[in-house]
Amino acid sequence: MKFGKKIITVGFELKTTREKWGMSQKFFVVRSIISCENVVNAGVKLQTMCRILQTEVQEPRSKENLNDLANLVEALPMSFSISGFFNMNKQLIPSLISGITSYLIVMIQFKAQGSCN
């Protein structure tokens, strides 16, 4: 970030291309998870909006179309899953972080145990 003539570095610098690639992959995964959550929320909002508009619209044909759309969204709920094992939503991010942390702790313990022998 630049403020006047001084340059202030915020955060850390990535030295290698491999580190840059790894960080971009992590950001992509998190952004994908958040995008899936946003799509699911938009589906719920669409259904709610159709139900509200149904009560306000006077034309019978429009009421029927809004009812059909609301029923379709309700019958086919929006959700993203990874091969049916778990859903992609914001609850997945802490699970990923805890899994990676556990893996790193185990790897550090094996490395420390190997240096002791």
Domain of 21 in residue numbering reads as: 16-89
Within a domain: 2: no
For 27-59, write each residue's pLDDT tens digit: 888 888 888 888 888 888 988 998 899 888 889
DSSP codes, 3-46: ETTEE---S----SHHHHHHHHHHHHHHHHHHHHHHHHHHHHHH
Within a domain: 6: no
Within a domain: 68: yes
Q: Which helix (H) or strand (E) holds 70?
A: helix 60-75
**pLDDT given for residue 26 in this prediction:** 80
Within a domain: 112: no
* Confidence label for 12 from pLDDT (cuts 50, 70 and 90): low
Within a domain: 4: no
Considering all CA atoms of the chain, what is the largest pairwise distance in Å, rounded to the nearest integer? 82
Within a domain: 40: yes
**pLDDT given for residue 23 in this prediction:** 73
For 89-106, write each residue's pLDDT tens digit: 888 888 888 988 998 899
**pLDDT given for residue 64 in this prediction:** 92
Within a domain: 95: no
Count of domains observed in the chain? 1
Within a domain: 44: yes
Q: What DSSP character marks residue 81?
A: E
Q: Is the pLDDT reported for residue 1 higher than 50? A: no
What mean pLDDT is reported for the chain? 80
Identify which has the larger pLDDT, 12 or 47. 47
